[in-house]
Amino acid sequence: MQLLDGKKTSAELKEELRQEVEQRKAQGKKIPHLAAILVGDDGASRTYVNAKVKACEAVGFESTLIRKEADISEEELLKLVHDLNMDPEIDGFIVQLPLPKHIDEDKVTLAVAPEKDVDGFHPENLGRLVLGLPTFVSATPNGIMELLARYNIETSGKDCVVIGRSNIVGTPMSILLSRNSNPGNCTVTLTHSRTKNLAEITRRADIVVAAIGKPEFVKADMIKEGAVVVDVGIHRIDDPSKKSGFSLLGDCDFEAISKKASYITPVPGGVGPMTIASLMANTMKAVKMRE
């Protein structure tokens, strides 16, 4: 088994971006500027946003973090999104999800200008993805594709099973892997909560992408010998034996599956860091598109 090392690969990707920023500086070009809106005080969201701000610093981007109380009105938030759309200094921005219940996430996603939608959540960008047109591919699927590409994983003609059909991971992943591109050209089966005999389906797969949101849901007996396994899940589980008081687990039983798989992403250190590096890459793309 070989690890699909997202920590190492994302460091390479970020180093490439850092060098590009240096070149841009030398040429007097604009430094990419990413903004993030964080609403409320959700611990996981705070961690993700902080990691994004830190990544901006590492690659030399400008970053702006806008924190708002959980009781911000939908109208105020939409006004903030509008202001960022109009701000020439900002190249791209994200609104960290989830949002408080009184705010319609779809309305907010639709309000983001597609050319600044570095999360790739706007329907225009998702539509362009489906049509194979240039777009911002949302950070997690984009990061997974980059990881597969950099490890030269053969995908053409392979049977791939994606578990989970969310708009931000499972569905775009199924489209990307079935596209006529490299990586791509897989025969994809998209499975979900109503899928019958899931294990039978996954056992046939050369590539499994697990985005279910349930800790260690995928067991070794669901995986074919030699398969490539991409684990998107991330769960904080109480663990008194750890100094931090918790362990991070994925959607796959890593210990057991790593004995069968040819390649597997670890959790942590797999898809997570690739997601953040991809967001940086999308921001670089945004600044170039605006030029």
Which residue's CB is nearer to ligand NAD, number 44 or number 133? Answer: 44
Is residue 96 annotated as a catalytic residue, yes or no?
yes
Is residue 196 annotated as a catalytic residue, yes or no?
no
Catalytic option among 52, 116, 158, 224: 52
Which tokens go with 227?
Answer: 């398969």
**Distance (Å, whole) CA 30 – CA 91:** 10
Give the shortest CB-89-to-ligand NAD separation in angstroms.
Answer: 27
Give residue 195's identity as a one-letter amino acid code.
T
Residues lying near ligand NAD in the complex (CB under 6 A): 140, 163-166, 168-170, 191-193, 195, 198, 211-213, 232-234, 271-272, 275
Mutual angle of helices 271-290 and 43-59, in 10-degree steps: 60
**Distance (Å, whole) CA 129 – CA 38:** 26
Give the shortest CB-25-to-ligand NAD separation in angstroms.
Answer: 29
- Which H or E element spans position 187? strand 187-191
**Distance (Å, whole) CA 212 – CA 142:** 18
Which residue's CB is nearer to ligand NAD, number 45 or number 258? Answer: 45
The 3-class secondary structure across 84-133, one letter per residue, is HHHCCCCCEEEECCCCCCCCCHHHHHHHCCHHHCCCCCCHHHHHHHHHCC
Catalytic option among 117, 119, 206, 253: 119
Which residue's CB is nearer to ligand NAD, number 31 or number 269? Answer: 269
Which residue's CB is nearer to ligand NAD, number 157 or number 194? Answer: 194
* Beta-carbon contacts of residue 210 (< 8 Å; ≥ 6 apart): 163, 164, 217, 218, 229, 230, 231, 232, 233, 250, 251, 252
User: With the C-alpha atoms ordered 43, 13, 167, 216, is the resulting torsion angle positive or negative?
Assistant: negative
Is residue 101 annotated as a catalytic residue, yes or no?
no
Which residue's CB is nearer to ligand NAD, number 203 or number 288? Answer: 203
Looking up tokens 């995908």, which residue turns up? 155
Catalytic positions are 52, 96, 119
